[in-house]
Structure 1
Amino acid sequence: MTQTTFEVMNVEGGRPVKMWTRGVPVEDMARAQLTKAAKMPFVFKHVAAMPDVHVGIGATVGSVIPTKGAVIPAAVGVDIGCGMMAARTTLMAHDLPDNLEGIRSAIEAAVPHGRSVGRGKRDSGSWGDPSAAIIDAWATLAERFGRIVAKHPRLKNTNNLTHLGTLGTGNHFIELCLDQDARVWVMLHSGSRGVGNAIGTYFIDLAKQDMRKWFINLPDEDLAYFPEGTDHFDDYVEAVGWAQDFAALNRRLMMANVIAALRLQIAKPFEAEAEAVNCHHNYVTRENHFGENVLVTRKGAVRAAKGTMGIIPGSMGAKSFIVRGLGNAESFDSCSHGAGRVMSRTAAKKLVTLDEHIADTAGVECRKDEGVIDETPKAYKPIEAVMAAQADLVEIVHTLKQVVCVKG
């Protein structure tokens, strides 16, 4: 058995916080945010902080908050169901062309990404004319969405069908990677896009209104919650579950389009899903822990139950890992969802030069311009330190290094 690596932060008037953060920096603001979450009266047992923990809105990114009898919408956030998908192909490194620019361009053409807003112009990050495959996929979600919209009409005019199978912005990406045996993998990171953002924002505001209506004082208004048994609780659980399904389907559709683009660039026939993993890291779900049924909110954390496969990506120029969960009960069967930021986006743009970004992404076919400096490797914690801090949560199955990176 691997030695336990968590430390305990006791919280006066609240539950303890168990932190897998040895050897990695944790900002004081993140500790303060964890403390506030741990003081919520319905937290079950303790809060678990992953090694990539950093400040978020309401709850820290990289935290696991188990609750009984209530759910906190801001702890899930607005990128509902955001997560990772990876698929190993039967291709080897030597099957790739020497110049990977064509592959990157083909992926960029196959999957809408980024965002452009202009008068009368279509957003480049959405479909102008969704294909039959996208429309058919949307049909599997449409009826449930209709039921949600019937109760909450404001959610109707959102980017739903036009965002299905698209990447988005920020830290979302599509990568071509090589594993430790020089095998080629496709890996991508995205969530429930515009419609998920609208659902998250809407219900966070609704929870805040409820708190004011019931005169409930909170340590942070972003910890506004829905008590179980109320209409808003049931509606939120329904909507968040739908958004999580949208996110998983979104990743599958993108993966299919990336593989199709690769087949046009690489003449050699290949299989595309020799191994595949599709996991959320911003979500809420019902699970059984310590013999009790609870709601588990993972905000920037991945389920790592015993034998469960997960993905922990590094930054643009770093390694990523395919992992197998060790089922550590103290972490509520969870692990980190990535490296975790050490700089805000604003700070990264101020502190990291373009030359540093270019040096740190050497060997990766990716954007090397000012527009992606907020995602540069220096903005993140060292992934090796993050993995060392959670040695009792997961075992590494594959180590990946990206060779192509498409950013949103």
Structure 2
Amino acid sequence: MPIQQILTGGKVPVKIYTDDVDPKALVQLSNMAQLPFVHGHVAAMPDVHVGIGATVGAVIPTKGAIIPAAVGVDIGCGMNAVRLSLKAGQLPDNLRPLRHVVEAAVPVGFDMHSEGHGALASTVRAMSGGLDRIVKRHPGILKMQKNVERNWMRQLGTLGGGNHFIELCLDENQDVWVMLHSGSRGIGNIIGRYFIELARKDMGKHLANLPDRDLAYLREGAEHFDDYVDAVHWAQDYAMTNRREMMRLILEALARQLPPFTATKEAINCHHNYVAVEHHFGEELFVTRKGAIRAGAGDLGIIPGSMGAKSYIVRGKGEPQSFCSCSHGAGRRMSRGQAKKKFDPQDLIAQTAGVECRKDAGVLDEIPGAYKDIDAVMANQSDLVEVVHTLKQVMCVKG
């Protein structure tokens, strides 16, 4: 479907691909549209919902500045999926032992790998130089959390918590897929928080002129701008590497339990919380996707539903008005606190019927009922992407 509503009144308009928007999200979108360096318009995807400062599901094109809080603290968070040469009938009837095997291979929640295990040593070495360069200029990063210099290595190839997950899915042809969602873990969170605060400090008294202090920005050419660009790109690379290492560990674990298989070439690894330099409407711009994926013409992407809903492998149509973007998922309909008040574990059991997963109070905030209807979200972005595969999970690992 085309753009459903347009907000005016800011420096630029806001073009929204749904009419299902929380009023608080509309305020956040309007706030972003007031910033002097936002270029052209702001685009809001069908999964749009309230974030911190910047709305989740927003695509923010800027010229000469970046908003660190719009990129967020889970820098480079995104998806990875790969199709296996297995069919549904080759999976065991009881998937619980398989879930435990995956949970043993990939630490979840606050857990991490033991020293010397997890990510390949060559991978750790490849990432080390970039971080050393960043902390040499900003040693305060290492003071924000205990054992930062060791933990980032131990967290490579780990899931984390919240809405991060690992799933075994079946597509419309009964082919088996492995799909996962994670980002830059603790080190990305630290880098994000460090530069968000630095942007506030750099703005000084001008911070009071912003509609929201979480929209503090770094100007191109200012003292810390290049350092942030360097740090955010490193964190995005870390997130991509983290997903790649997790997928390697998962496939190794599955290979010990399932019939022999190969991973097909149809593999996708894409960010949905990140900033990149792109060319749109004749200009080189910084494009921040806060809960949105790139959907350029021919780009393959992943749009997951909730724990009990369908997910989609999509191909981008390169729609200019969305800055070649689409949604990053279903999008939350209610906050985590609201979900815990509204639902109980029996609701979770009912809404995840047929899925091998945790069904306890610890993951109640991720219940499918807390999310928007993924089918409605997909219908609202038919101008942005075409569906290549429809996936339904049969096993889900949560942190």
TM-score range, shorter chain: over 0.9
Tell me how far 1:14 sits from its aligned partner.
2.0
Q: 1:269 to 1:337 in 2, by over 3 A?
A: same
The corresponding residue for 2:92 is 97
Q: Secondary structure at the match of 2:302?
A: strand
The corresponding residue for 2:202 is 210
**Are the equivalent residues in 2 in contact too, given 1:64–1:301 (CA < 8 A)?**
yes
Distance 1:93 1:112 in 2: 26
Pairing partner for 1:160 from 145, 152, 165: 152
How many residue pairs get matched? 393
AA aligned to 1:319 is K
* TM-score of the superposed pair, with normalisation by structure 1: 0.94
Tell me how far 1:21 sits from its aligned partner.
0.7
**Are the equivalent residues in 2 in contact too, given 1:102–1:265 (CA < 8 A)?**
no
Matches within 5 A, 1:113-124: 113-115=108-110
Distance 2:14 2:205 in 1: 30
The corresponding residue for 2:260 is 269
Distance 2:204 2:184 in 1: 29
**Are the equivalent residues in 2 in contact too, given 1:91–1:270 (CA < 8 A)?**
yes
Q: Secondary structure at the match of 1:219?
A: coil
Distance 1:251 1:13 in 2: 38
Q: Secondary structure at the match of 1:188?
A: strand
Pairing partner for 1:60 from 51, 55, 59: 55
Matches within 5 A, 1:379-394: 379-394=370-385
**Are the equivalent residues in 1 in contact too, given 2:14–2:41 (CA < 8 A)?**
yes
Q: Secondary structure at the match of 1:231?
A: coil
Q: 1:167 to 1:392 in 2, by over 3 A?
A: same
The corresponding residue for 1:248 is 240
Question: Deviations 1:348-404 (Å, cap 9, x if unpaired)?
Answer: 000012111101100000001011110000000000000000000000000000000
Distance 2:266 2:333 in 1: 32
Question: Deviations 1:55-90 (Å, cap 9, x if unpaired)?
Answer: 001100000000001000000000000000000000
AA aligned to 1:222 is D
Tell me how far 1:132 sits from its aligned partner.
7.1
Pairing partner for 2:134 from 141, 148, 164: 148
Q: Secondary structure at the match of 1:166?
A: coil
Tell me how far 1:274 sits from its aligned partner.
3.6
Distance 1:361 1:288 in 2: 42
The corresponding residue for 1:365 is 356
Identity, in percent, stands at: 61
Runs of 4+ in 1 over 3 A off after TM superposition: 213-216
Pairing partner for 1:16 from 2, 13, 33: 13
* TM-score of the superposed pair, with normalisation by structure 2: 0.97
**Structural RMSD (CA):** 1.1
Tell me how far 1:214 sits from its aligned partner.
4.8
Q: 1:215 to 1:397 in 2, by over 3 A?
A: closer
AA aligned to 1:235 is D
**Are the equivalent residues in 2 in contact too, given 1:11–1:39 (CA < 8 A)?**
no
The corresponding residue for 1:191 is 183
Q: Secondary structure at the match of 1:52?
A: strand
